[in-house]
Amino acid sequence: MRINRLAFKTATLCFVFLAACLISCARSGADDFPGVGSRSGWSEALPHYNVANKYMARGLYEQAAQHLEQAIGFYDKDPDFFVNYGVALRKLENYTGAEQAFKRAIALRENDWEAWSNLANAYLKQNRLQDTINCFNKAMKYNPPPTEKEAMLKDIADIKKILSMQAPAPGSARSSATGAAGAKASGSGPAKPKSQNLAQQKRNAQLNAGAKNNSAAASPSGQASNGNIQQTPAAPPNKEQLKNSGWDWVY
């Protein structure tokens, strides 16, 4: 009789524990639902979202993008769908498509630092440097992890160096022209070739700066026989100096 009672108590405890687990899992799933739109549509979208994540982990971004498109077709109110879709498009070098996806994510959840950071990187790939800075500043308002914030601050500092190197000298013809017409908005000009990333821009700027610094030592008179100022070609920058500069890689 004691054995039967013990077995009954054990079975009861197991049942209670299992029921608690099921309730916990159900609540966890409910918490993931954004709370707007059709729950059934969201349930239809989830399998495509999960499959897309598996493709992303394997670097199969085209397949991931296809499944995320299907997930969004079933349910377009989950910002995580759009963030992952934007990442997949960025990996496929569809930077304008990625930009639009991240903007949709932000419209659904504005305080998502990851969405703002990803949008900044989409702008970075399009060489829209001021827009990149603005989005990184937005991302830092929404409490990113300390390591992420540190990386953003470093990127902002490096981008500002690039912008200062690209700025025309006061009184130059370019400065006069832009002064008369007004400064262009960031990103309003045509995109630069994809092969020229920001590391190459920094290298070009350093080469130009080196050429200006060496021009005074071209000749004792500073003038060539044809009346033009001689400039000694600048030596290429030391790779070790660029190694930790933040511009030997781009997101």
What pLDDT score does 29 carry?
44
Two structure tokens written together for 14: 């197991």
By the 8 A CB rule, do 156 and 137 touch?
A: yes
Higher pLDDT, 161 or 204: 161
Domain residue ranges of the chain, discontinuous segments joined by +: 38-165
Assigned architecture for domain 38-165: Alpha Horseshoe (1.25)
More confident residue, 209 or 90: 90
**What is the spatial distance between Cα 46 and Cα 104, in angstroms, rounded to a whole number?**
18
Please say if the pLDDT value at position 129 is more than 60: yes
Q: Which of 28-32, 44-48, 126-130, 162-166 has the lowest mean pLDDT?
A: 28-32
What is the mean predicted confidence (pLDDT) over 151-161?
96
Nearest to 109 by CA among 88, 89, 81: 81
**Cα 87 versus chain centre, distance:** 8
pLDDT band at residue 32 using 50, 70 and 90 as cut-offs:
confident
User: Could you tell me where the DSSP H helices lie in 33-181?
Assistant: 39-57, 61-74, 79-91, 95-108, 113-125, 129-140, 146-166, 173-181
User: Mean pLDDT throughout 134-145?
Assistant: 97
Q: Which of 46-50, 84-88, 243-247 has the lowest mean pLDDT?
A: 243-247
Estimate the crossing angle of helix 146-166 against helix 198-214, to 10 degrees. Answer: 40
- Helix-then-strand count for the chain, H and E: 11, 0
Mean pLDDT computed over 65-70: 98
Global confidence as pTM: 0.59
How confident is the model over 184-211, as a mean pLDDT? 46
Q: What are phi and psi of 203, to 5 degrees?
A: -60, -45
Q: What is the pLDDT of residue 198?
A: 55
